[in-house]
A = this chain, B = another copy of it.
Amino acid sequence: MSRTPSSSSPAASAGAPGQSSVQPVQADPADPAAAAAAARAGEGPSIAGVAERAGVSVATVSRVLNGHDNVRPATRDKVLAAIDASGYRVNELARNLRTAESRLLLTMVPDFGNPFYAEIVRGIDTVARQHGYFMLLCDTGADPGRERSYFDMLRRRRADGAICLDPATIQQALGEASQALPWVACCEFDPAVGVPYVGIDNYRAAGDAVRHLLARGHRRIGLINSDVDYLYARQRQQGYLDALSDAGIEPDPRWRMNLNSLDYEAGATAAAALMQQPDAPSAIFAVSDTLAIGVIHGLRSVGKRVPDDVAVAGFDDISLAAQIDPPLTTIAQPMRELGETAARLLLQRLANPQANVPGVLLPHRLVVRRSA
């Protein structure tokens, strides 16, 4: 990642891309005019105060602030000096109203405590900041009501665009009313909604995981899935089903479980339950690493060794996956890139509202470790 070799830090220029940096400077405590202006404004001087101090018009100050080049160097210096001396900071509330943009990007996640989302969010944040936007992170808890209310922030102009990681079912409902709103889908998407998206091929990825288990000689393979509200859950389930069928195995419904949570706890409980039945699976495919980690714990709690008694495969390849015992075999998703791509798609859509922004699928990868 290359950085501008100037003195301004990357984030410092973030708020106002392409504008001259305003240095943090102590206001001159002995200047009565500045003091009066400050008192009037409640908080530091306004652009008018700077103009007065520099002996120019507000228009000129604005030009300098925004890095326009039609300002005589001498004038610019005067203005810069006045800005410096007064400790002026641009009021983004005013600028935002005037330019009719908030420079905020909304990111809606079902659960930002989940390490999988955390990494995606980081990708979004990086790209957003590179382009002078800030990211407003919203935890929806996958609740349609909250989802909808956050979405409304777009209409209220509180955010310029949104990235949605919530279930496709929710997006669908949202989509009907909001085709025209500037948003993109990440990980979860319904191509039918007609909204730009980025994700992976969940069907094939799940198949890859199951085929790996099959290659290891397993025939009774369990599936610990999340809520089927999620598109990925349905797609991965289908991938699992078809991979088994293709291997000539009739999938037993008793091997499958649907959970309404991705917590470690949920995985542990489910695994223990799975093992209760006769002819229990000799391998388990969990649709998320957090679930898989819980599964390993649950297995251990009922006296099963991993992978000797039961093999476990996860999904996502969060950083933790390599650290647990045994290290987790899993499907790696390019989390960072997922986030970065989502942000870029959104920015693209913002820059050119009528452009036809595509859906994109990123590659996944099977990572074989010791758990399966």
Contacts and interface: CB of A to CB of B under 8 A. Distances in A.
Given A9-B145, A92-B157, A125 B139 contact: yes
Contacts of A259: none
Contacts of A178: 9, 11
A155 interface: yes
Contacts of A43: 155, 157
A156 B356 contact: no
A354 B3 contact: yes
A89 B152 contact: yes
A122 B145 contact: no
B323 A157 contact: no
A125 B111 CA distance: 12
A300 B119 CA distance: 27
Contacts of A115: 113, 115
B42 A100 contact: yes
Contacts of A155: 11, 43-44, 89
A320 interface: yes
Contacts of A74: none
Contact of A324 (B100, B265, B297): B297
9 A-B pairs with the lowest CB-CB distances in the bound complex, closest first:
A9-B145, A12-B149, A11-B149, A264-B323, A89-B155, A113-B118, A137-B137, A11-B146, A93-B97
Interface of A: 1-3, 9-12, 14-15, 24, 26, 42-44, 89-94, 96-97, 100, 102, 104, 112-113, 115, 118-119, 121-122, 125, 134-139, 145-146, 148-150, 152-153, 155-158, 177-181, 194, 263-265, 268, 293-294, 296-297, 300, 319-320, 322-325, 354, 356
Given A293-B324, A325-B325, 17 more contacts: A1-B194, A2-B354, A9-B145, A9-B146, A12-B180, A89-B152, A89-B155, A89-B157, A92-B156, A92-B157, A93-B97, A93-B100, A94-B97, A112-B121, A113-B119, A293-B320, A297-B324
